[in-house]
Amino acid sequence: MPAPRIAGAPISWGVCEVPGWGFQLDPDRVLTEMREVGLVATEFGPEGFLPDAPDAKAATLQRYGLHAVGGFTPTLLHVPEHDPLAGVDELLAGYDAAGAGTLVLSADSGGTGYDSRPELDEGGWKLLLSNLDRIADHAATRGVTAVLHPHVGTMVETGDDVRRVLEGARIQLCLDTGHLLIGGTDPAELARQAPERISHTHLKDVDLGLARQVQDGRRSYTEAVGLGMYRPLGEGDLDLDGVLSRLDAYGYTGWHVLEQDTILHGPPSGAGPVEDVSTSVQNLRAALPTG
Ligand SMILES: O=C1[C@@H](O)[C@H](O)[C@@H](O)[C@H](O)[C@H]1O
C-alpha cells in the first residue's frame, strides 16, 4: 500500500487569505524554501499567491519542482441568495491544469477573519449540508475529492458542528488537528471513530494553554496565533502518534499537509519561518508509522 504523502502550505510562511493578516512573503521565497526542506508538494495558498490562470498556476509549481495538492477554499454555503457551485467550478480548471486532486472547503461565515461567526438556524444548516454534498458530487465528476475543513470562526467549528456534518452529509473531512483541538474535538478520537470519512489532513501542533484561552473567550483567535499558539509539529500538545497510528490502522494513504499558521510582523530576520517548517518535516518523518 502506498505511504501517505507529505506536503507544505504557504500559511506556515504567514501567507494567508485573511486581509491584513501580517507581512506577506513572496512566492519565490516560499516555494524555494519548501524545496530546500525536502517538500515536493504544496497546497495552492490564498488567491493571488499563485497566478489565477490555470496554465500559469501549473507552470509556476512545475518551475519549483512542486506537485499540486489542491487548496484551502473558504466558501459561503449557508446563504440562500448565494449558489457556491459556479465559483467552485471555475476554480476546478486550475486543478485540472495542475493535476491537483483535493479541494479543501471551509464553511465561510460571511465575515472577515476568524474571530467571530453568526449562529446558524435549521434552514441554514440544511442548506450548508446540501451544498457540501452538491460540491463534493460535482468535484468528483472532475476527478477531485472535496473535503470539509472544520475551522475556528467558520460555520463548522465545534464538536457539535463536526457531528452534524458527519451525520447529515456525505462529504469527506480534512482532519486539521489544530482547528479540531481548538474547536473542542480530539483529532485522534475522530480518526478512531470515523477514519472512513478522512481523506486529507492538515497536521498542526498546538499550545493547549493558548488554545484554552481562545475557547473560553479570553483571547481572540488572531491574537493567539500571533502569540505562537501553533507550534512546530512534535513540539506542542498534539498527540501526533495517536493521530498517525489511527489513520495508519485504517490504511490512510492521502496527503499529510504540514501547517503552522504564523503571523509575520514584518520581513523576518534570520532564517524566518523555514526553520520551524524544517523541524516539523523532520519530526513528521520520524513519527510516521511507515517511516
Ligand atoms: O487552517 C488553516 C489552513 O488549513 C489554511 O490553509 C490556512 O490558509 C488558514 O488560514 C488556516 O487557518
Cα torsion 175, 180, 185, 188 to 10°: value is: 40
According to CATH, what is the number of the domain 6-287? 3.20.20.150
Among protein residues, the one with the nearest Cα to ligand 1's atom 6 is 72
Give the Cα separation of 55 and 94 in Å (integer): 7
Residue ranges lining ligand 1, Cβ < 6 Å: 9, 11, 16-17, 72, 149, 151, 176, 179, 202, 259, 261
Q: How confident is the model at residue 1 (pLDDT cuts 50, 70, 90)?
A: low
Express each pLDDT in 176-215 by its tens digit.
999 999 999 999 999 999 999 999 999 999 999 999 999 9
Pairing, β 5-7 against β 67-75:
unpaired
Read off the pLDDT of residues 229-288 as tens digits, 9 standing for 90 and up.
999 999 999 999 999 999 999 999 999 999 999 999 999 999 999 999 999 999 999 999
198 with 191: CB under 8 angstroms? yes
Q: Which atom of ligand 1 is nearest to the CA of 149?
A: 4
Three-state DSSP class for residue 54: helix
Torsion sign (Cα): 163, 169, 175, 177? negative
